[in-house]
Structures are given as C-alpha cells and as structure tokens.
Amino acid sequence: MYQRTGNWTTEFYHEGIRYKKSLGRGISKTVAKEREVKFKIEVREGKHHQKARKIKFETFAEKYLEHARLNNTRKIVGTTALHRPRSIGMWHVCGI
C-alpha cells in the first residue's frame, strides 16, 4: 500500500493475477489499511473480477472452436464461426 498525491493505493498479486485499487483521497493511513484488508478479502472470496480483455473475433473463434472440440460441444455451433465473413475477423468481439 502506498500514497501518491494524497491518494492511497493498494497493489498485489493473487493466484498470478495483479490487482490494483484506489482506496481513497484525503483519508488516514488507518482507514486506507482497513479498506485494503476488505479488498483483499473480496478478491480471495472471488467477489472481485477483473475486466474482460478486448479480443478480436478471429482469435475468439479459434479459442472457442478448440474449447468446443475438447469438450464435445455440438458441432453446429462451431461450424457457424467458420462460415463468417472475412471482414468480421478484425473486429473486437464487443463490437459485433
């Protein structure tokens, strides 16, 4: 935990994932420490999730088809991703 320009921030790793959170501006170190402990507990309990990364549709389709193949997902779902227009591969999944 550290303070920069009056803002307390915590930063740590849990199970190989980096977590960083602003704890507040203009608060005491004791209050910041309490908030840090609460945040770490939430992370350990799985209540705090990282934001999803943007991923291109082409990459998503490849990963999904591999997952579907390994988990015996219905073939019809996998084939629709193969018959997409080529231009859609350069878009992010959230933009489709």
pLDDT of amino acid 25: 92
Q: Determine the average pLDDT of the residues in 47-60.
A: 76
Q: Which of 35-39, 51-55, 79-83, 85-89 has the highest mean pLDDT?
A: 35-39
3-state secondary structure of 59: helix
Q: How many helices (H) and strands (E) does the chain have?
A: 3, 3
CB 52 within 8 A of CB 32: no
DSSP 19: E
Q: Would you say residue 70 lies in a domain?
A: yes
Q: Tell me how many domains the chain contains.
A: 2
Residues near 18 by beta carbon (within 8 Å), at least 6 away in sequence: 11, 12
**49 domain-assigned:** no
pLDDT for the residue 37: 95
Q: Tell me how crowded residue 2 is: count the other CB atoms within 10 A of its CB.
A: 9
Question: 39 is in which domain, residue-wise?
Answer: 2-44
- Tokens standing for residue 23: 């704890």
Report pLDDT for 91: 55
- pLDDT tens for residues 1-45? 999 999 999 999 988 888 899 999 999 999 999 999 999 999 999
